[in-house]
Amino acid sequence: MLDAKAKAESAIESLTKYAEELRKQIEKGMDQSLGQTQKAATGFAIKLLKFQKKTFDGTFKVVAKVQERSEKAVNEHLKGASWLPDEGKQVVKEWSRALRQGRAEFQKSVDKSYDLVGRCLERVKKQAAKKPVEKAPAKKKAPAKKKTAAKKKTAKKKTAKKKASAKKKATN
């Protein structure tokens, strides 16, 4: 009888150790998987950023062409516009120059922003490849709220009945 009990306890102990080792391996695998997932997600974000930049560049080139052709048409029209004084022509030329300059500055600003985000994502991708992501510490549970005693219902019905009976007596 003791021999069977000792074997059962030994089996339970070995199963407990095996379960603990298995749990540790699963956690390690999950951490590695999380790192791989982060790396893949960052890679996808980089590809998406490149796609957005190409789309922006293409759209911006179309807008630039439209503005250039509009400017050319306005300049051609101004050459034959004897009704417009020279001051007006200078204003239109200055306006066209400001549009070109603003467009070029906007393009530089957007390119710089895409470059900064791209470098940041590359850095995150490299960090994800180097080491697995550490798990966040377990959150502590908030202490349970104490149960408060339920309030007793007031005896409003009794007082209402007393008032009603008092009114009847007064009217009688």
Cβ-proximal residues to 35 (8 Å cutoff; 6+ apart), any chain: 128, 129, 131, 132, 133
Residue 100's pLDDT band, with cuts at 50, 70 and 90, is very high
pTM of whole model > 0.75?
no
- What is the rounded distance in angstroms from the CA atom of residue 98 to the CA atom of residue 104? 10
Nearest to 64 by CA among 112, 111, 100: 100
pLDDT in tens, 55-98: 999 999 999 999 999 999 998 988 888 888 889 889 999 999 99
pLDDT in tens, 30-63: 666 777 788 888 889 999 999 999 999 999 999 9
- What is the rounded distance in angstroms from the CA atom of residue 47 to the CA atom of residue 121? 10
Please provide the distance, in angstroms rounded to a whole number, between the alpha carbons at the two ends of the chain: 92
pLDDT (0 to 100) of residue 125: 85
pLDDT (0 to 100) of residue 106: 96
What are the extents of the domains in the chain?
A: 10-130
Round the average pLDDT of the chain to a whole number and report it.
80
